[in-house]
Structure 1
Amino acid sequence: MKHDIVLAGVGGQGILTIAAIIGEAAVRQGLHVKQSEVHGMAQRGGAVLAHLRLSSDPIHSDLIAAGSADVVLAVEPMEALRQAESLSPRGVILANARPVRNIGDYPELDDILAALRAFPLNVVIDAEQVAQDAGNARAMNMVMLGAVSPFLEFPDDLLATTIRDTFARKGPEVIAVNLKAFAAGREAGLAVKR
């Protein structure tokens, strides 16, 4: 088993939390994990990028070569498009459709979304709206984690258990909202995976 995952977004959107939960779930399953991170000016809305490699065999590099990622998961649509060159021809691109307009000349959103939806295997959803419907728009990253979950070879409850453990110190209400957001995102991913 091997999964090479590129995660991208803007500072404060929870990319590194997604990577940590996937990585912890992989370790719990006995897999090898390597991760690299690039933090932009995160506190000022800069780009955040992580490469996450999971494998049943030893991993020798934490970087993912262009054109070889199994998954590109982005919580911001332009960041998804910027990382699309990482995706293998058989890979899936997952993107939150809601932009963070952190630059003055942000491209036309409709053009970005059309380019993302042109990939043969894609999940493009308004993760913030899905999270809001689940109880808190801040759980958007858990929606995206749910959306990618059908593309990972984890037991059905492993990611949910890892989410529970990750948010345990924040109390049962936070856990419940995050699990509800995860489940809603999973439905979106399953709809494409089928």
Structure 2
Amino acid sequence: MKKDIILSGVGGQGILSIATVIGRAALAEGLQIKQAEVHGMSQRGGDVQSHLRISSSEIRSDLIPRGGADLIVSLEPMEALRYLPWLSAEGWVVTNTVPFVNIPNYPDEKALDAELHALPHVVLLDADALAREAASPRSANMALLGATAPLLDIAAERLEEGIRAIFARKGDAVVEANLAAFRAGYETAKKQTAR
């Protein structure tokens, strides 16, 4: 088993929480992981990306070569497109469709949408709306993680254990809201990947 994942978004959206949950789940399944340092402007509002490599055998480098990513997981559509040069020919893009417009020359949203819809392997979801429906507007990252889960080759139960572990200190209500967002994202992705 091998999965090379690029996580991308904007500072403050919860990229590191996604990486932490996936990492915990991978370790619980006996897999090896390497994660590159988060690059970019990690303060709120700046571009953030991270490389996460998971394998059943030894991983030599923590950086994913161009054309080598199995997944690009993004909380922001423009950021998903920014990392397409790293995506393999059979790779998947899983992205939130809600833009985080933080620059004056943000690309035309219709053009972004058209480019995303033209990709051969893509899961598109309004992670923000799924999080609101789960009564946890700040859990869009967990909805996105749920949408990624069917493509990870890691048991969804392991990912849910990771969510429980990282949010436990915030109380049961926060844990349950994040699990609800995760499950909503999971169901959305299952419908889109079954085509």
For Structure 1 versus Structure 2, the TM-score category normalised by the shorter chain is over 0.9
Instruction: Give, in whole Å, the separation in 2 of the partners of 1:37 and 1:79.
Output: 17
In 2, are the aligned partners of 1:128 and 1:137 still within 8 Å (CA)? yes
- Aligned to 2:188, the other structure's residue is in SS state helix
- Give the C-alpha shift of residue 97 in structure 1: 0.7
**Which letter maps to 1:83?**
Y
Q: 1:166 and 2:170 equivalent?
A: no
- Structure 1 58/176 Cα, relative in aligned 2: closer, same or farther at 3 Å? same
Instruction: Give, in whole Å, the separation in 2 of the partners of 1:3 and 1:95.
Output: 17
Match of 2:88 in 1: 88
Q: How does 1:32-51 map to 2 (within 5 A)?
A: 32-51=32-51
Match of 1:61 in 2: 61
Q: How does 1:119-158 map to 2 (within 5 A)?
A: 119-158=119-158
Q: Which runs of 5+ in 1 are unaligned?
A: none
Instruction: Give, in whole Å, the separation in 2 of the partners of 1:153 and 1:145.
Output: 13
**Which letter maps to 2:143?**
V
In 1, are the aligned partners of 2:123 and 2:193 still within 8 Å (CA)? no
Moved more, 152-161 or 34-43: 34-43
Match of 1:15 in 2: 15
- Aligned to 1:37, the other structure's residue is in SS state coil
Instruction: Give, in whole Å, the separation in 1 of the partners of 2:111 and 2:143.
Output: 23
In 2, are the aligned partners of 1:121 and 1:192 still within 8 Å (CA)? no
Q: 1:193 and 2:168 equivalent?
A: no
Match of 1:116 in 2: 116
- Aligned to 1:49, the other structure's residue is in SS state strand
Instruction: Give, in whole Å, the separation in 1 of the partners of 2:174 and 2:56.
Output: 32
Taking structure 1 as the reference length, what is the TM-score of the superposition?
A: 0.97
How high is the sequence identity, in percent, across the aligned residues?
49
- Aligned to 2:38, the other structure's residue is in SS state strand
- Give the C-alpha shift of residue 165 in structure 1: 1.1
- Aligned to 2:132, the other structure's residue is in SS state helix
- Give the C-alpha shift of residue 40 in structure 1: 2.5
Instruction: Give, in whole Å, the separation in 1 of the partners of 2:153 and 2:139.
Output: 23
- Give the C-alpha shift of residue 37 in structure 1: 2.5
Instruction: Give, in whole Å, the separation in 2 of the partners of 1:135 and 1:74.
Output: 22
Q: Which runs of 4+ in 1 moved over 4 A?
A: none
- Give the C-alpha shift of residue 123 in structure 1: 0.8
Instruction: Give, in whole Å, the separation in 2 of the partners of 1:121 and 1:41.
Output: 28
Instruction: Give, in whole Å, the separation in 1 of the partners of 2:18 and 2:44.
Output: 20
**Which letter maps to 1:150?**
P
